[in-house]
Amino acid sequence: MAIDYSELIPNNVNLSEDRVLQRALEKWQPHFLDWWKEMGPEGFQTKDVYLRTATSVDAKGWATYGMVKMPDYRWGIFLADPVADRKIGFGDEFGKPAWQQVPGEHRSTLRRLIVTQGDTEPASVEQQRLLGLSCPSLYDLRNLFQVNVEEGRHLWAMVYLLHAYFGRDGREEAEELLARHSGDVNKPRILSTFNEPIDDWMSFYCFTYFTDRDGKFQLKMLAESGFDPLARTCRFMLTEEAHHMFVGETGLGRVVKRALEVMNELKTDDPAAVRSAGAIDLPLVQKYINFWFSSALDLFGADISTNAAGYFANGLKGRPDEEQYQDHICREGTMRLEEPTEDGMAITPIDVPIRNAMNAIARQGYIKDCDIGVQRWNRLIRKAGIDFEIKLPSERFRRTVGTWAGFHFTPEGQPITAVEFEKRLSGWIPSSADRAYVRSLMKQVTAPGKMAGWIAPPDRGINNLAVDYEYVRL
Ligand SMILES: [Fe+2]
Ligand SMILES: [Fe+2]
């Protein structure tokens, strides 16, 4: 379905045919814009940015590129095309027609799922609002803003569902999505990770690599939902999301590449020497990965979860890529997981009814997906002739949610005491000195084509343009 850009709110849902809904969303729109101007990227609202905008929702050629001032970005409502006669693909309702309206008995659960997803979208914009002031290049600045405007659009996606399908309480929730703010003591965002500021670019690349990838898996699960409008919304969001993870993967890859260049120039693998040359040493990259990976794992929830079992049984939230499985009902059978012994000093297997293990299943898919980029970075390292291997830490490491929370493990997954963990932690995740060093590198670079000294240039520019194209006109 083509997107109608002649409307105040671009959309492909025939919004003009539902005057009541249209008016309600047109009332929300200025509130969104006020939020964007107040909480969005600081210092660049009047600048031209080379951004992509969705023009259709099919996988090929859905975007158009051009110079846009961010407040003029055409945020709108874009759903993937409907699948004719779509059936519910899993759970107790398997094979029944997908719902075009919210079933009464699942109303509050669906609303909560949508609000929780929706809350993360503007939260990340708020977390990243000062990053532009320390961008390593115009190319990166543009990518940051692309991610930011698309997270704004993802908020639109969830707000549309709330307005269109949840009546008055949906409209109230939509207002609340603009009223909570990341890090606000009185009205924080729902999930704690989304209340931490992201104030350096290493954290931004890790966020887009690890946290946005959690988002991808959440969207994949919701894209299976029996509630068809939610499924279609999430399917289109996934195509936008891919760029965010590209920014993370290539960003971290370029940091690694720069470290390797410096190591080879100076003929040393001494981290201190790499730092004195103004680059980010590989052990420090590993520490950032340890930090962000472990906090992203928590976002999947408890390993053994009756909530997750309920979402699956009721057809609300499936497994990522549900069709890859043989059994979509999962009423029988177990899955083998692990848990710590009571004293936390050993690991034992545990068999869990498969429906109760849905979070663990999604998390395992996520871990595999995370490792793909890690292996790419390791290829760069090997090619440079350097003896170092980046590794994802064990899923037991530094967890605050699920089976491993409250116990202590090394990044390799070995049980240790709390005392030893505290003693060694600053060797595993960025210490305050490490963070101060990274902060000292964060100086804005804005000459077209120029890169900060701690990051290598990208292999190519955006949309076939040169790397030294003026992606943001300052
Ligand atoms: Fe998003
Ligand atoms: Fe994202």
* Ligand 2 center–CA 146 separation, angstroms: 10
Looking at the CA of 121, name the nearest ligand.
1
Q: Taking residues 456-467, what's their average pLDDT?
A: 97
* Ligand 2 center–CA 151 separation, angstroms: 6
* Ligand 1 center–CA 153 separation, angstroms: 8
Looking at the CA of 151, name the nearest ligand.
1
* Ligand 2 center–CA 215 separation, angstroms: 7
pLDDT tens digits, residue range 108-160?
A: 999 999 999 999 999 999 999 999 999 999 999 999 999 999 999 999 999 99
Q: How confident is the model at residue 59 (pLDDT cuts 50, 70, 90)?
A: low
* Ligand 2 center–CA 150 separation, angstroms: 7
Model pLDDT, residue 88:
98
- pTM score of the predicted model: 0.97
* Ligand 2 center–CA 241 separation, angstroms: 5
* Ligand 1 center–CA 237 separation, angstroms: 7
Looking at the CA of 248, name the nearest ligand.
2
Looking at the CA of 243, name the nearest ligand.
2
1, pLDDT greater than 70:
no
Residue 335 near residue 363, CB atoms below 8 Å: no
* Ligand 2 center–CA 397 separation, angstroms: 25
Q: How confident is the model at residue 2 (pLDDT cuts 50, 70, 90)?
A: confident
* Ligand 2 center–CA 265 separation, angstroms: 36
* Ligand 1 ion: Cβ-proximal residues, 5 Å cutoff: 121, 151, 154
- pLDDT averaged over every residue in the chain: 96
54, pLDDT greater than 90:
no
Looking at the CA of 218, name the nearest ligand.
1
436, pLDDT greater than 70:
yes
* Ligand 1 center–CA 172 separation, angstroms: 21
* Ligand 2 center–CA 57 separation, angstroms: 17
Least confident of 1-10, 279-288, 359-368, 392-401: 1-10
* Ligand 2 center–CA 43 separation, angstroms: 22
pLDDT tens digits, residue range 371-380?
A: 999 999 999 9
* Ligand 2 center–CA 430 separation, angstroms: 24
465, pLDDT greater than 90:
yes
Strand-pairing partners, residue 347, are 340
Model pLDDT, residue 55:
81
* Ligand 2 center–CA 245 separation, angstroms: 7
* Ligand 2 center–CA 18 separation, angstroms: 30
Q: Which residues, in sequence order, are CB contacts of 423 under 8 Å at separation 6+?
A: none
* Ligand 2 center–CA 408 separation, angstroms: 31
* Ligand 1 center–CA 122 separation, angstroms: 8
Q: Taking residues 37-45, what's their average pLDDT?
A: 97
* Ligand 1 center–CA 253 separation, angstroms: 22
Model pLDDT, residue 97:
98
* Ligand 2 center–CA 214 separation, angstroms: 9
* Ligand 1 center–CA 257 separation, angstroms: 28
Residue 79 near residue 63, CB atoms below 8 Å: no
Least confident of 58-62, 102-106, 430-434, 465-469: 58-62
384, pLDDT greater than 90:
yes
* Ligand 1 center–CA 210 separation, angstroms: 13
* Ligand 2 center–CA 228 separation, angstroms: 22
468 burial via Cβ count (<10 Å: 0-12, 13-18, 19+): middle
* Ligand 1 center–CA 420 separation, angstroms: 38
* Ligand 2 center–CA 256 separation, angstroms: 23
Q: How confident is the model at residue 61 (pLDDT cuts 50, 70, 90)?
A: low
* Ligand 1 center–CA 194 separation, angstroms: 12
Tokens at 249, concatenated = 């993967």
* Ligand 1 center–CA 154 separation, angstroms: 5
